[in-house]
A and B are shown apart, each in its own frame.
Chain A
Amino acid sequence: MNKLKTMNRTTRTNYLTYILVIAAYVILEVMLKGGGLKAATKGMLVPICAYIVMALSLNLTVGVMGELSLGHAGFMSVGAFTGTATTMCLVDAVPNTALRLCIGIIVGAIAAAIVGFLIGIPVLRLRGDYLAIVTLAFGEIIKSLVGNVYMGVDHGQLKLSMFTNELNMSPEGKIIIEGAMGIRSIPKIATFTAGFVLIMISLIVIFHMVGSRSGRAIMAVRDNYIAAESIGIPAFKYKITAFTISAAMAGAAGALFGNNYSSLIASKFNIDTSILILVFVVLGGQGNMLGSIIAAAALTILPEALRSFADYRMLMYAVILIAVMLVSNNQKIKDILKNAAEKRTGKKLAEGGAADE
């Protein structure tokens, strides 16, 4: 009976998340079509979607798997560069922008998944602080490598070189990735609808995974590694599955992000971006997907909403961030909220209910 109750609560939270995301999409889409949105808001819709998917993806690693990854922006950059390069190569072959974007996102996700799998093999054998530091290092390695790739299309032929530009392009050829200068003149084909679809797919994947056999195994490994191994759960296998899925989502988010700007540079995906995404996850609550969505959206809008403070903008941003972190971690406020929730539902939560925090 108790088990049924907790299961119901999880299902309920999942459906609430779906409904809220769909409602937000419908409202914004209606306003977008009706012209009721300011240019500043319109311009932020796609990046917010990309950051939400990034936060969900990292939450899978940090919240569900329980391992701290500090190199998530690296996967985003792999997805962004492969996804955007793909859409640029296909400009003539696939005139339909929605289909082209879809192909780009899939290619970005696959590329990032491959990189995530390869990196996962050494990294996931470590635990705790060591894993965090190694992911940080890999994030930087990816950034440096991506910043040194030269790629061009010449008479239907793909040319690649590393570190120096040795493409020897013919005059008709088109350089797509140009080392540190990145990709330029990208046609902006990312749409808010594509971002919404990506968020929904990510949510479905994560909720199903968490509720499944592998999800329970992953959480068992998170909660007690030795106990989980001793009852025969192949910890490494489950961890690398989750890590690869997480990387794939980050790659998809990157492809969406890359196709939303007319130029893309590798140095954008540095440690600052990784930390920013980690902030979304920590602020929204580890393992709490709805929290990640709200935190990612709020923290992307906040610096823009503070523009009227001019020079004090980033100071305000930091102060608000600190205040929110302190307040949301304050036991007293937590208790007040909990009491209010209990009063509203009119029933005392079972002891076991604390487990879903």
Chain B
Amino acid sequence: MNMKKVFAILLAMMMVFSLAACSGGSNEPAAEPAEEGGEAAEGAVQIHIGATGPLTGGAAIYGQAVKNGAEIAVDEINEMGGIQFIFQMEDDTHDPEKAENAYNALVDWGMDMMMGTVTSAPAEVTAADAYADRYFFLTPSASSTNVIDGKDNIFQMCFTDPNQGSGSATYIAENNMAEKIAIIWKNDDSYSTGIRNTFVEKAGELGLNIVTEETFTEATKTDFSVQIAKCQEAGADLVFLPMYYEPASLILNQANAAGYAPTWFGVDGMDGILTMEGFDTSLAEGVVVLTPYSADDDSELNQNFVAKYQEKFGEIPNQFAADGYDCIYAMYQAATAAGIDPSTMDHEAICDAMVAQFTSMTFNGLTGADMTWGADGTVSKMPNAVVIENGAYVGM
């Protein structure tokens, strides 16, 4: 009986191993052709770009979206000939400790520059490492200011949290959107807390009336009945939701069930709510989102990206995918202009050359036109408020 059991375990393990081995090859579609292409075009400049993000665990949707978007950009660039990008993304499960391990694995892999870490808390750790080791670092979506603070080689593709918080407050005040404002935020998350803090600060300056503030945590992100009831009791006519779209979708759903219909105001984390599986988009009618990207934009660049994304991954890209795509192209533009060649330059020289490019160049991408970067690493582009009407974003 026992021998049977051992045998069964061994067989099961063999099966899993072979499964993993089979899928391992097809798992990195972006890296593989690049490697082959690089060999074919002997002497072409090859740049190893490392990235970390949550590919498994609760925040995996963001990491996967960035990875997908970046892979499309890498494939396009490699097809063009010229500089060849070899892209490798390591899983950090949205945990700073694992992010450090992932970063070290990328250093061993021979990374030349880094397309950042997707989420804020792990990015704070990897950015500090990249600053100490002098790797150029561009994050697609880690919006915390602490990621870039005091580090000359760390750049962001997304808005910083304070920008989003005070931007939202200014927008609400300028457009006279609300008499009484309620906030629901996640108080164990640095993204949510960062935006909420600057929103409250700016709201105080502008004389906005915040009637109640409700919080939730990772452990309590499934039931919002108490928070919604309190907002309703306080008579709030606008509820600010600085959070990612997963909890936001539940709030909309539960508020609808409770018969509460204020104006909902979200930030960039809310983007993607329309493409969320199993979410009734009619609930999001009238939700206002402050976002730099909308998949409905009819520019040729965007339409091409959306078509490719849908063909390859079967869904409509969200802002994270667009950030990943933009990051790769921004790095491509800077690397081309600076004449980066890892065979003659080490990563410190590459870092200095890239920093010089980023602080002086202008970039047109999916998430904004005429983007420029300050020496502090922040991007300057126009925030865009969109409202959801008939299941689609409409500019305001």
Contacts and interface: CB of A to CB of B under 8 A. Distances in A.
Contacts of A42: 104
B342 to A, nearest CB: 17
Contact of B190 (A180, A308, A319, A323): A180
A43 B96 CA distance: 13
A263 B6 CA distance: 44
A315 interface: yes
A311 B23 contact: yes
Interface in A39-55: 39-40, 42-44, 47
Interface residues of A, number: 49
B303 interface: no
Contacts of B108: 38-40
B105 A330 contact: no
Interface stretch (A12-20, A104-112, A264-272): A264-272
Instruction: Select the residue from A264, A310, A331 with max chain B CB neighbours within 10 A.
Output: A310
B87 to A, nearest CB: 13
Nearest to A323: B9
Nearest to B17: A316
A1 interface: no
B197 A165 contact: yes
Given A42-B104, A43-B104, A314-B56, A308 B97 contact: no
B124 interface: yes
A130 interface: no
B91 interface: yes
Contacts of B9: 322-323, 326-327
B338 interface: no
A304 B13 CA distance: 19
B210 interface: no
A261 B24 contact: no
Contact of B27 (A270, A303, A310): A310
B27 A263 contact: no
Given A40-B101, A43-B101, A311-B23, A263 B90 contact: no
B341 to A, nearest CB: 23
B68 interface: no
A303 to B, nearest CB: 8
Given A179-B193, A261-B125, A307-B90, A319 B2 contact: no
A332 B146 contact: no
Interface string A246-272: 000000000000000111111110100
A327 B7 CA distance: 11
Contacts of A307: 90-91, 105
A181 interface: yes
Interface in A301-354: 303-304, 307-316, 319-320, 322-323, 326-327, 330-332
B90 A331 contact: no
Contact of B125 (A140, A165, A180, A262): A262
Contacts of B100: 43, 261
Nearest to B15: A319
Nearest to B28: A310
A197 B311 CA distance: 56
B75 interface: no
A180 B149 contact: no
A27 B150 CA distance: 37
Interface in B9-54: 9, 12-13, 16-17, 19-20, 23-24, 27-28
A272 to B, nearest CB: 9
A180 B56 contact: no
B24 A309 contact: yes
A334 to B, nearest CB: 11
A174 interface: no
Contacts of B190: 180-182, 265
A268 B190 CA distance: 13
Nearest to A309: B20
Interface in A122-179: 140, 144, 147-148, 165, 179
B27 A184 contact: no
B146 A312 contact: no
A125 B51 CA distance: 50
Interface string B72-104: 000000000000000000110001111011011
A184 B146 contact: yes
A349 B243 CA distance: 63
Contacts of B98: 303
A46 B56 CA distance: 25
Contacts of B24: 308-310, 312
B121 interface: yes
Contacts of B95: 268
Contacts of A230: none
A148 B95 CA distance: 20
Contact of A263 (B121, B197, B218): B121
Interface string A230-244: 000000000000000
Contacts of B197: 165
B169 to A, nearest CB: 17
Interface of A: 38-40, 42-44, 47, 140, 144, 147-148, 165, 179-182, 184-185, 188, 261-268, 270, 303-304, 307-316, 319-320, 322-323, 326-327, 330-332
Given A185-B150, A265-B190, A312-B24, 13 more contacts: A40-B101, A40-B108, A43-B103, A181-B144, A184-B124, A184-B146, A264-B96, A265-B121, A267-B189, A268-B97, A304-B101, A311-B56, A332-B3
26 contacts: A38-B104, A147-B187, A147-B217, A180-B187, A180-B188, A180-B189, A181-B144, A184-B124, A185-B128, A262-B129, A263-B128, A263-B146, A266-B188, A267-B218, A303-B98, A307-B91, A310-B24, A310-B27, A311-B27, A311-B55, A311-B56, A313-B56, A313-B91, A319-B13, A323-B9, A330-B5
